[in-house]
Amino acid sequence: MRILADKEIPYVNELFGLTNQLRQYEGRFLSDKHIKNTDVLIVRSITKVDYELLHDSSVKFVGTVTSGTDHIDQDYLEKNNVKYISAPGSNAIAVVEYVFSALFWLAHRDHFFLRDKIVGIIGVGHIGNLLNQRLNSFGVQTLLYDPYLSKINTDKSWKSLEILVSESDILTFHTPLTYTGSYPTWHMVNKDIIEALPSNKTLINTSRGEVFDNSALLKALDHGKKINVILDVWEFEPKLLLPLLFCIDIGTAHIAGYSIESKIRSIIMIYNAFCQYFNISDKINVSNLFPSFINYIRIKKMDEANINSLIKIIYNIYNDHICLKSYALNSGGFDKLRKYYFFRREWSSIFVDTGKDYTTEMLKNFGFSVF
């Protein structure tokens, strides 16, 4: 089997390189001339897969190691009998833990308790739903907006976007990027939404950069709008609106989903679909890819300060903010930072012992491993 894969996808060699003809490429520089003799294409979100790329190829299977599929022309693939598979939910835990890292960092800086805040979640798919569960398990009130899910899922108490904007202390976005339909998400956060936001609210975007109108956001901040902003994704990546980066609270290089575990989960999902589609007997023990635990910790008191300390053992979000501000000043710095990013571990890699049943259950619900 002739396979072409983005060279920055971890573990692709371990799964696809043993019994196949595996070649690798630079993600942003793939063109139709590279894939003429290719059966399987494995990509990240930076590669647009459409007619221009595939029209003169023999590609039968496309796998993207991402949850989002806005870079995949699904209509074209379906019409040309090209099987495609994505990895929905593979990065959900990593993104949720990134959001919590941001929230606890902000709570520490601004001297508030997360339990006292109302969090509005826009988009309640794999990531938004998990975030909602973990926030609720921690005693945080949430408001939910998802115009599509609200029509088919009546178990949740859905709110309008206007209610979330006016009543939430924190708004966090977990939507796909869409340009058409009844509820397009392109520039969902625009001049009107930003102006309607009360002072001292917080905006978080880990979905797609184009969901936020970056220019409108910068203009509002320049004119003295008092809001907190945390961005992991940017309009026009890999080019950034540098003045925006330097006036927000946290800016990172589209790495919210970059945990070791999420990368393993995503490539395993693609590998399993590949084996099923081509009727290949799976002889690889994928469980061997997952690393061992990194810490065994005992804590006496379960409070926000101690949880923040546990999180920082694995990940300090402010360090990534400082790195991006440094790298972004150089040509190609955004991609370079992502290329050499040190994948963090997820909270489940820490074993925690509190000695108390109720705090043990809370930590377990929160994603930590417990004794």
Annotated binding site for NAD(+), which residues?
Answer: 146, 175, 232, 257
Q: Which one, of 234, 196, 243, 182, lies nearest residue 213 by Cα?
A: 234
Residues forming the annotated binding site for substrate? 45, 66, 258
Q: How many CB atoms lie within 10 A of CB 22?
A: 18
Q: Which of 14, 26, 237, 304 is catalytic?
A: 237
Q: How far apart are alpha carbons 161 and 124 in whole angstroms?
A: 13
Q: Is 195 a catalytic residue?
A: no
The answer to whether 249 and 106 are in contact (CB under 8 A) is yes
Q: How far apart are alpha carbons 242 and 222 in whole angstroms?
A: 13
Q: Which of 174, 254, 265, 345 is catalytic?
A: 254
Q: Is 208 a catalytic residue?
A: yes
Q: Is 162 a catalytic residue?
A: no
Beta strands in the chain (DSSP E): 2-6, 21-25, 40-43, 61-64, 83-85, 118-122, 141-145, 170-173, 202-205, 228-231, 250-251, 295-298, 350-353, 369-370
Q: List the strands of the sheet with 369-370, edge to edge.
A: 295-298, 350-353, 369-370
Q: Which one, of 317, 364, 255, lies nearest residue 107 by Cα?
A: 317
Q: How far apart are alpha carbons 248 and 13 in whole angstroms?
A: 38
Residues forming the annotated binding site? 45, 66, 146, 175, 232, 257-258
Q: Which of 208, 265, 338, 344 is catalytic?
A: 208
Residues involved in catalysis: 208, 237, 254
